[in-house]
Amino acid sequence: MKIAALFTAVALLATPLAAQNIGTVASSEPTLRGTPPGSATRTLGLGTGVVQDETVASSASGRGQILFADETTLSLAPNTTIVLDRFVFNPDGSGQMGLQMTTGALRFIGGTLSRAQEATVTTPTATIGIRGSSALVLYQNGGSIAVFLAGERLCLTSSGGRRVCTSRQGGVLTEAGYQGRVNPDFLAQVLNLIDGAPRGGGGGGAGLGSGIDNPNPSDRGPVSTTGEEFDPEIFDDDFVIDDLLEFLPSDFYFGEF
């Protein structure tokens, strides 16, 4: 019995533990390349798992999306290299997420982890903190640019330690500070880089049927990534009731007793 247990233990030690997948490649055009720690570079096709500390790179004509276990989606532009250097996702939803981007551009659409605390994207010149949010991050010409798309807040800390934040949808941050609202032409350029230029023709195709396809824009304001929203009429109940009471005859209080 003891000998059998000993053999089992030796066998376990002799077999290297397979690294746990932290996400999966959800689209790849034409391919992404991945280099797990201590392993050779491999092709990351659709459905391939990615692991902690893996370096993922797109070629000059490649792009792709990675879906993480916490529901975060990363979209990589051509000529982008990232290292998935921190991903802890506990069963209770806690954990942390961080990656390095040495070159290129990406879109980060947050999942569970970035809602509780900042997920970080570290470039050679800055650390971008994304909380409850979606953002575009670029590193080009030796500088970092972050565009806040939606959610709670986006912050950028330069390597010199200066930290700036924005909660404005479309707000742009660089190492030089807050730059105002994103220019539509610049935004289109970045989205074309990450997703490719929009294509027409092809018959249009059927929608996904997500249920979001309301024919009229909602008269409600925007919603946070966790469903929070402001109610512009929150103080209006008074007036609804007062409007009605305006029609009370004056003798209601002062007339017959």
Partner 1 sequence: MFRHSFLAAAASLALLAPPALAQTADAAAQRQAVFQQLLSDPSNRQLMRDYARLSVQMRDFEAAAATLERLLDLEPTNVAARVELAIAYFSLGSYAVAEYHLAAAAASGTLSPAQAAQVARYRQEAQERGDSSAYSGRLEVGYAYSSEAGESGPFVNAAIDWRIDLGDANATQWVTEAAYAGYAPDGEFTFNERQTFRLRTGPEFRLQSDAYGPRLQPYVELNWFDGAEFSGRDARAWEFGVAYQNPLNARVTVYGDFSAGHTEFLGDFLFVRGFDFQEVELGATYRPSRDTRLRATALWRAEETEEFFGPPVETTITGLRLSGQHAFEQDFLDVPNRWIVGAFADRRLTAQDGLDVTDDTYGAWLRAFVYEDVYLELSAARLMSESDFGFGFVTERQETIMTVQLGWEF
CB of 112 to partner 1, least distance (A): 10
If the CB atoms of residues 29 and 85 are measured against partner 1, the closer one turns out to be 29
In one-letter notation, the amino acid at residue 4 is A
CB of 43 to partner 1, least distance (A): 16
If the CB atoms of residues 141 and 218 are measured against partner 1, the closer one turns out to be 218
* Nearest by Cα to 84 from 57, 53, 50, 108: 53
If the CB atoms of residues 141 and 214 are measured against partner 1, the closer one turns out to be 214
Question: Burial letters for 58-75: b for 16+ Cβ neighbours within 10 Å, e otherwise?
Answer: beeebbbbbbbbbebbbb
If the CB atoms of residues 124 and 232 are measured against partner 1, the closer one turns out to be 232
- Chain centre to alpha carbon of residue 27: 16
In one-letter notation, the amino acid at residue 139 is Y
CB of 2 to partner 1, least distance (A): 40
Helix (H) or strand (E) holding 192: helix 184-195
* Nearest by Cα to 101 from 130, 129, 81: 81
In one-letter notation, the amino acid at residue 189 is Q
Residues 6+ apart with CB under 8 A from 4: none
CB of 91 to partner 1, least distance (A): 11
Residues 6+ apart with CB under 8 A from 193: 77, 78, 105
CB of 108 to partner 1, least distance (A): 10
If the CB atoms of residues 73 and 102 are measured against partner 1, the closer one turns out to be 73
If the CB atoms of residues 15 and 185 are measured against partner 1, the closer one turns out to be 185
CB of 82 to partner 1, least distance (A): 17
